[in-house]
Amino acid sequence: MTSASPSFPWKHAVRDVALVSLTLLAWRLDASARAAGSTLEWGTALLAGSLTAIAGYLFHEWGHLTAARATGSVVRLPESLSEIFLFNFHSDRNSPRQFLAMSLGGFAASAISVVFLLAVLPLDTLAGKIAITLVLLGVLATAVLELPPFFKVMRGAPLPRGTAYVSDNKAAR
């Protein structure tokens, strides 16, 4: 890690707390719109549901990062808030065990968020239906994109490269 790079993505933590706060506000607005029979209900439902799915994705990413850090993995933290991933995993400097643990952290976070959302979302509302649909589509995307490399590495394949994975030609920070 370079000295200019923080050991914790503080900017991203603040961004994500703000996003969760905005999500909660959107749910309050949706409840108010529904109670008032407002024509804004579609808009507030779409906003609350979409923000919930984004928060679920971020929770998944924090699960990956938490597990990566717990195993001492080398990661590259993002330089800007616009990067889609919370971090990049260093394929050349981490072991298969660290990769598998990092992957499981994201899977566990997704499972926890789905169970939590099923328990607390008002699934009989439009916002609840949008939220759970988008969250489940995110879980499906995770299964399609993340399970194949996980099982390949588990069977002895080299760690993946590209996208969220950096190598020595892209120095870790």
Question: How many Å separate Cα 153 from the centre of its chain?
Answer: 21
Range scoring the smallest mean pLDDT among 18-22, 59-63, 74-78, 137-141: 74-78
pLDDT above 50 for 2: no
159-169 pLDDT tens trace: 999 889 988 76
42, two tokens = 């579609």
Q: How does strand 75-76 pair with strand 88-90? A: antiparallel
Q: Which residue has the tokens 């976070």?
A: 109
> What whole-number distance in Å separates Cα of residue 145 and Cα of residue 163?
11
In the chain, what are the domain boundaries? 10-166
9-63 pLDDT tens trace: 999 999 999 999 999 999 999 999 999 998 899 999 999 999 999 999 999 999 9
> Is the entire prediction scored with pTM above 0.85?
yes
